Structure 1
Amino acid sequence: MYRVLIVDDEKEIREGLRLKFPWADFGVDHVDTAEDGDIALRKVMEQRPDLILSDIKMNRMSGLAFIGQVNEKYGNSCKTVVVSGYDDFDLVRQAVQLGAMDYILKPIHIEELNKVVIKALNQVQNERNDEHNRQLLENQLQLAIPKLQEEIMREVTGKPYNPNWQTQMGHRLKSVELDWILQEPLALMVIEVDDLKSIELGRAYRNEKELILFSIGNVVDQTCEEEYQYPYTLFMDEKCRWVIVYNCANRDLESVKETAKTCIERINRYVKVNVSIGLHSNIGTVESLFHMLQKTGDILEQKAVYGGNRILIDEEIGVDAEFSEMPLSDTDLIFDVIQYASESEISLALNGFNEMVRSWPAAHIKDIQQCLFEWLLELFKKAAHIGLKDLEWERNPIAIWERLEKYDTLESLRNQVEVFLLELSRSLKQLSKPQNQIITEAMKYMNRHYADNLTLQGVASEVHVTPVWLSKLFKKEIHQTFLEFLTSLRIEKAKEMLGDVRYKIYQVSQEVGYRDPVHFSKLFRKSVGHTPKEYRKIRGIQDE
């Protein structure tokens, strides 16, 4: 529907136009009048009419002054038609220059007014349609921008930087408001759901995994918007991890760390899942984003050693967890300690006893004793599963309970638990493989599968120990970390292959387990002191 304003200082003319012309036939539902330009300006401001019919010659403010002010304030949104006598053509010309779209001569004929109104209202409708379509496109673009940002960021971080695509990528990044990626220092963070596979397998309802990931993305986006002062972008990678790239203009990672802490707290509270966050310790640029993401993925693997639901930063973590930091609630890990560790190491592992007890929803000593009883029974069952024949605990479990209920302080209960664990350890030592046999089996497996995507968790599963324990055995038995041994193994295999001119360097890289030749070359140089190309040249082999 449309609104019309008639401006004329002669009441008979303006009222005649208002009452006698069939406005409703043209879709006009509101017609108002004004006797001069001052009153008309106020009504234009209040009503924003679509069409204005204005006389040129009026008392007080002239029609020309009125049209000029309307055009200055409202542009072409109000269509103005001037009404003029035969001798006013110079004034009509001025009115058109000031913004009037057409004119009509006095005396006004209905047929002529019909044509002018149709022309004006057609323009109004066309502009409305154009604005509606523009708004639709803008809304669709706003809805599409996050998806477009995700796609572009997956491209930027999914392969090593190539200077040849910077111009094209720059245009694409600018089109989705991410051109700061090319200009500013960057920080990178990766959020991974702990035990996502178990959540997926044990899902209570359909699409639970997708809903959890979606909820985490919302929480992270909201948290970053509230807590981080610079631009950022987030996207999900092919491993169902949320990757956040921050504009680190202040070159200070502390604000990113604080945001990460808040993300974990809110995800725990609102989504009810645990997550681990890997944070690259260095600030980089677009050229280093690919390697930053690869490195941060490696950092996240350390949650198998250090535990999840925390922030992992490469410069702040070592290779092995200390015995005193072991989570006692992880019975698989503690059972490995009981099987393979020395008695002093078992005692050291119990430094986390008080923390474990305090984590239980147990308010009274009887509740704590009950939780300890169940925890010990689980360890005894694991011992029976691997073949321990002394099943006194199974024949008379009440005896365990009776020993526990004698003590009513944490310190005395800890001492009694230590007695149980040491007794169990001595029995298990007769069944367990020697530690060096476990390492030998792990090394044999790695020698056969060094070209695969080997992880600490995967190798530990093959030799039937926990990742934490295997990591400790590598350090203890061969004085290398798991990753150091794997890297040295791959580099030695690469040196053998580089002696064969049939293999190109990128093929050698892939054959020994590195998808990225640039990353392989850096590792090779760090280990050998020369790049693969230099190594071939030293050996007198003509490079490709």
Structure 2
Amino acid sequence: MKVLLVDDKASVVQGIRKHIPWETLGVSQVEIALDGKEALLRYASDPADLIVTDIKMPNMNGIELMEHIRARFERAVRFVVLSGYEEFDYAKKALALGASNYVLKPVDIKEMTGIIDKLLGELRKEQERDAQRVKFQQTIRRSLPALRQQYLNEMIRFRDERQVRLRDKWDFAEIPLKPSNFALLAAAIDRFDEISHKPVEEVELSRFIVENIVGDCLSSWGTGIAFYAEWGLLAMLVNYDPADPAKEVKEQLLKFADWCRTSVEKHSGLTVTIGISSLCPELRELPGAYREACEAIEHVYFFGNNQVVHVEDLIPFRMKRTGYPALQEQELLTLVRRGQAESAQEAGASFFRALEGEEGKPADFRFSCIQLVTALNRLLHDLGMAEGERSPLPEAWFELCNRAKLSELKEHIPLWFHQAALQVKQFVQAGSKSIVGEAKTFIEQNLLHPIGLSAVADYVGVSPNYFSGLFKRETGISFVEYVTDLKLAQAKDWLEDAAIPIYEIAERLGYHDRKYFREIFKKKNGITPSEYREQRLGTSTGEE
């Protein structure tokens, strides 16, 4: 910390510099100026953290000095004004300009020391907050690519009617597109269920190759961005010119998508199936566009892969066959993904009620059932569940769909979804319990060290937000409550040892403010630490 003393009487500033214990206050440098003009020059070349200034001085008075510094410099600085009784109106003006305090002459060294100590303490805290804020901003900047992908995934999955909120997120994430007039394309890596069983390095390499080839293709469109919406499904957002006829935009999108498809096949040996949504004028309509693109892909998968299809081209196909309960299918898959077994079985029954409301041949009903269990099979693959973890196996599903009566299918298929949801729930819970168990062990081993949620999340290999929600879901309390409970339990143990002072117990546990330690202990236990010790030991220590 640096201090600048300003007064036209050298004896005043020299006396202050001589008698105040600067080192004890954490001040490394104390400069002197004999008027405001000299002080301004010194501040410009070597800024001080605290300025103690007289008001009446030749060349430039204290008020003018404060005005100049406030106007020309953005750096945080504190002012203490020295004032005589007859200068009180000046002192009030100084306070209006941001002076932290004023001291009447002659200066009382003890009073001045206390004021400077208080102001420097406030300034240090402010500087620490500013440094922390800068650190957070830098962290956000480094995390912007991941944050951008998170926002985009939220926007295509969840409809939000708050258009202004969506625009704010869009701008904050610096998404390189106009926030309106979109087409959404989804590129599914073909046979990804097979690829996903290879070593992780090979899986990620396949995803990386497809993303980069598609990214190169996007540059020819003009403005576009690609991101993974699912492990094997790459979403693409592009802008279109609303002045162009819709039919012309559709043709452009089909040509562009086919170029992406052929480029992936040519340069990687992989193939992709691409679905294209109808035009999407507004941000809030993106979830509908994403569903359309995925629907196009799902339909194509029944007849082959390595194709491009526009959702509008499915209309004639739909008219030739039994209406498929797509909404009920999505509800079923969502319930399985969430592990909601009881609801899944009822939703399966709802699927068949909707299906029976359509007229069609037995073959049409069988085909709808095959489509439904194919979607379930793919979902379980995407969730990383091996066939050995499922009952019954997919082969049995398809065999039954090909030979069973409708009544049998109505009985078995809802049960399959019920079983799948149960298995997903167990699969997810096993992983969650393992993460939380590792976290608890790490917390207990490092209880006496500074430890935060981010450090623990990093240790178990998940994001802080995900870990925070998972920890509370598995334990029933927040991370902070859990750490506090452990610390207070340790405090109780130490309180039973009269040789350990209470202040030392607080400091060992990281509570450097004894009053705060006393408050949280009492809030948790109903009594203060000293009262607890007295109850346990039967003697009063007089500590508090």
TM range (shorter): 0.3 to 0.5
Point out the structure with max Rg over C-alpha. Answer: 1
TM-score, normalization by structure 2: 0.46
TM-score, normalization by structure 1: 0.46
